[in-house]
Amino acid sequence: MDYKKISEKYIMNTYKRYPLTLVRGQGSYVYDEKGNEYLDFIAGIAVCSLGHAPALILEALKKQAEKLIHTSNLFYTVPQIELAEFLSTKFFGKEVWKLFYCNSGAEANEAAIKLVRKFHSDANKKRYEIITFFNSFHGRTYGALSATAQEKFHKGFEPMLEGFKYLPYNDVDVLRASITENTAAIMLETIQAEGGVNVANKDFLNAISEICKQNNILLVFDEVQTGLGRTGKLFSFQHYGIEPDIFTIAKGVAGGLPMGIMMAKRSVADAFVPGNHASTFGGTPLVCAVALEVLKKITDAEFLAEIEKKGNYLISRLTELKNELPIKNVRGKGLLIGVELDVKDASYIVTNAINQGLLINVTAGNVVRLVPPLTIDYNEIDEFIEKFKRSAK
């Protein structure tokens, strides 16, 4: 069967796909329709954090599906409440955090943008402007796209939503000079994953935190890709010892089922009242039951510590390759790693890797982004290194 041909006939042309039809996954591997095996260092773009077909997800799915898959947000449902309590009370000391359930990273960021505007409109109508940073990525819906400071994604879709100001990342001076009485929030990723795995400096984040506190500006972290253990801490802002007012998560939260969450401190969250925001599928019993099991696993201290160790091992093995391969720089945290190559276009490596039985992804033209399942083991990392060497030569 020519899946490529049928796909191109019936599915809109929004993705540049690799010539591979995947039919099955197990652990860190996926398989195509011919039975070929691929070591998966994309993991659904940082989504399948516990690997493919993990028993705990299959069990949670079956157990909850037999009880209740969906009702609506017109009623209380138990998995929704259990998950909210787990997320809100386990990690933030005395502060009460509230959350809003939705279905994707973009949708979580839309909710965050709306909450910023609503919070300030209640108090001070002038504050509406959100500062974001060049090379950010916050999603493809209009609010999230307007927050995304990359021209290539805006092209053909202008005008963007009003009220966003774009600044250079890691530049404290420009940021200080750009704050006005209209500034409502500063929104950023601590690692710009899609933008090339650019890591925020500690000084930059400290300055942002201080500026926000001094000026009644909300600090919003987009943890869609960096959150939930990906960088070796549950949330990546924890590396820096600073706390946002709002943050968003999605991707790995339900182990591959679609889910987004926007979380906010109670003092901010309470700006939303019934009718302000909604999502039909937000927080279904099914997805919440699965997410709770995923979170129980990911929040385990030993599991998190292992991610950091495995990430450091992977970075050190990649750094050793600098003499053999055209590697300019290896950066990132935990299992979100960027390998910047001294070439203009690194897409040839992706094709070579497929032929070697390895799935990797390139972002920002010449950065290989590595986001394997968090359950990857050391043997699989060694296997990756051998396959990567052959692919990048």
Residue nearest to ligand PLP (CB): 105
Is the Cβ of residue 194 or residue 293 nearer to ligand PLP in the bound state? Answer: 194
Least Å distance between CB 385 and ligand PLP? 25
Tokens 């390998």 appear where?
A: 339
Helix (H) or strand (E) holding 379: helix 378-392
Tell which residue, 132, 140, 70, has the closest CA to residue 104.
Answer: 140
Least Å distance between CB 63 and ligand PLP? 26
Q: Which stretch binds ligand PLP (CB under 6 A): 54-62, 113-121, 135-143, 336-344?
A: 135-143
Rounded CA-CA distance 254/10 in Å is 29
Residue 284 as a binder of ligand PLP (CB under 6 A): the answer is: no
- Binders of ligand PLP among residues 162 to 201 (CB under 6 A) are 189, 193-194
Residue 49 as a binder of ligand PLP (CB under 6 A): the answer is: no
In 3-state terms, what secondary structure has residue 34? coil
In 3-state terms, what secondary structure has residue 220? strand
The Cβ-side half-sphere exposure at 30, using a 13 Å CA radius, reads: 20
Is the Cβ of residue 250 or residue 261 nearer to ligand PLP in the bound state? Answer: 250
The set of residues, in sequence order, having a beta carbon less than 8 Å from that of 6 and lying 6+ positions away, is none
Convert 320-342 to b/e letters by CB count within 10 Å (16 or more is b): ebeeebebeebbbbbbbbbbbbe
The set of residues, in sequence order, having a beta carbon less than 8 Å from that of 274 and lying 6+ positions away, is none
Least Å distance between CB 6 and ligand PLP? 25
Is the Cβ of residue 132 or residue 366 nearer to ligand PLP in the bound state? Answer: 132
**Does residue 269 contact residue 98 with C-beta atoms inside 8 Å?**
yes
Q: Which stretch binds ligand PLP (CB under 6 A): 31-39, 137-145, 262-270, 298-306?
A: 137-145
> What is the Cα 373 distance to its own chain's centre?
13
Residue 137 as a binder of ligand PLP (CB under 6 A): the answer is: yes
Q: Say how many residues touch ligand PLP, by CB under 6 A.
A: 14
Residue 83 as a binder of ligand PLP (CB under 6 A): the answer is: no
- Binders of ligand PLP among residues 88 to 107 (CB under 6 A) are 104-106
- Start-to-end CA span in the chain (Å): 33
The set of residues, in sequence order, having a beta carbon less than 8 Å from that of 337 and lying 6+ positions away, is 197, 311, 314, 315, 318, 330, 331, 369, 370, 371
Residue 249 as a binder of ligand PLP (CB under 6 A): the answer is: no
Least Å distance between CB 355 and ligand PLP? 26
CA 66 → CA 59, 69, 324, 365, distances in Å? 11, 8, 54, 45
- Binders of ligand PLP among residues 335 to 354 (CB under 6 A) are none
Residue 244 as a binder of ligand PLP (CB under 6 A): the answer is: no
Rounded CA-CA distance 187/202 in Å is 16
Least Å distance between CB 204 and ligand PLP? 17
Residue 306 as a binder of ligand PLP (CB under 6 A): the answer is: no
Least Å distance between CB 339 and ligand PLP? 18
**CA-based diameter of the chain, in Å?**
62
Site track 207-226 with ligand PLP (rule: CB under 6 A), x = hit? ---------------x-xx-
Least Å distance between CB 193 and ligand PLP? 5
Pick from 120, 138, 230, 387: which binds ligand PLP (CB under 6 A)?
138
Counts for the chain of helices (H) and strands (E), in that order: 14, 17
Q: Which stretch binds ligand PLP (CB under 6 A): 12-20, 80-88, 133-141, 236-244?
A: 133-141
Interacting residues toward ligand PLP by CB under 6 A: 104-106, 109, 137-139, 189, 193-194, 222, 224-225, 250
